[in-house]
A = this chain, B = another copy of it.
Amino acid sequence: MRFLDDQDPRGAEVMAALHPYTGGARVVGVTGTPGAGKSTLIDAIIAIWRQMGLRVGVVAVDPTSPFTGGAILGDRVRMQRHATDPGVFIRSLATRGRLGGLSASTGEVVQVLDAMGYQRILVETVGVGQDEVEVVSLADLVVVVVSPGQGDEVQAHKAGVLEIADLLVVNKADQVGAERTARDLCLAVEMAPAGARRPKVLRTTASVGAGVKEVVEEVEGLLSDMEVSGQRAASARARTQKMVVDMVMESLGERVRLLVERDQGVRDLLDKVHAREVAPRQAAAKLLSEIARDEAKATEGPAE
């Protein structure tokens, strides 16, 4: 079971059993470049939600160390003051570099927390790429955290950030350059093409809690709006679909991996590609038909 980070066969059964109890949680993605202060901001958000009587789950995705598979606890210590609160569940996950790894395993943890009655679930990623996209697919809405003085690349990424953000937070607002970063983002939001979303730009100094209440208010307001407009139902449906597709792709990926590792015919074929005797695409086509035949054989009975 992925939630337990191992291959426990009960996983699928447990997930199936939990499934009817899910759907109540609101999932908020928090992403941004390293050092933006995401964990500190999350810590402050948790405190406010707890004051509101909400149970809060946090899934912190550690994209690093894919080669050993271990989650790096790193800055999770910043959330430790909530560690003994039974109304708060915090878990770090390593993505392990798997295709679709983030969304498949994180999706399952979100499902479990949802079924357990956590009303707000924060999914934190250090996103500057693929991971950001995955968070979008998991969350009802996405908060992008930026901090001043993170170099030109933040500027270059502005377009990408605007596309996924439902709310922009300039953290470390007490630092030099914060005003300029906030102004730049506001300007970029104003200049976004017609029909594009226009996220608010809020300023926080999460380390002292400044501005965090406004962030929570905006998040809650957006969640209510989504409920009323039916957008939340649509995003929940899209999420269900993505979860199933991810499972299918992971399963297919495993088939391919096994074929490549164990099937002598496939290994010979790959050797020919390496020797420039067969083109990669020809080999890929051959592999596809192998998988289909194996899969068809394996599922002939139960299917229909």
**Interface residues, chain A, with chain B CB atoms under 8 Å away:** 12, 15-16, 19-20, 22-23, 33-35, 63-68, 70, 72-75, 95, 97, 99-102, 125-133, 150-157, 159-161, 163-164, 236-237, 240-241, 243-245, 247-249, 251-253, 256-257, 260, 270-271, 273-274, 276, 279-296, 298-299, 302-303
Contacts and interface: CB of A to CB of B under 8 A. Distances in A.
17 contacts: A12-B281, A16-B280, A16-B282, A19-B273, A19-B279, A33-B128, A34-B157, A35-B154, A64-B161, A72-B159, A74-B155, A129-B130, A248-B256, A251-B288, A252-B291, A292-B298, A292-B299
A153 B75 contact: yes
A283 B129 contact: no
Contacts of A95: 129-130
B153 A35 contact: yes
Contact of A99 (B15, B100, B155, B270): B100
Contact of A153 (B34, B68, B152): B34
B289 A295 contact: yes
Interface pairs A-B: 9 shortest CB-CB: A35-B151, A74-B156, A63-B129, A64-B160, A292-B295, A16-B279, A289-B299, A247-B284, A289-B303
Contacts of A281: 12, 15-16, 247
A138 to B, nearest CB: 13
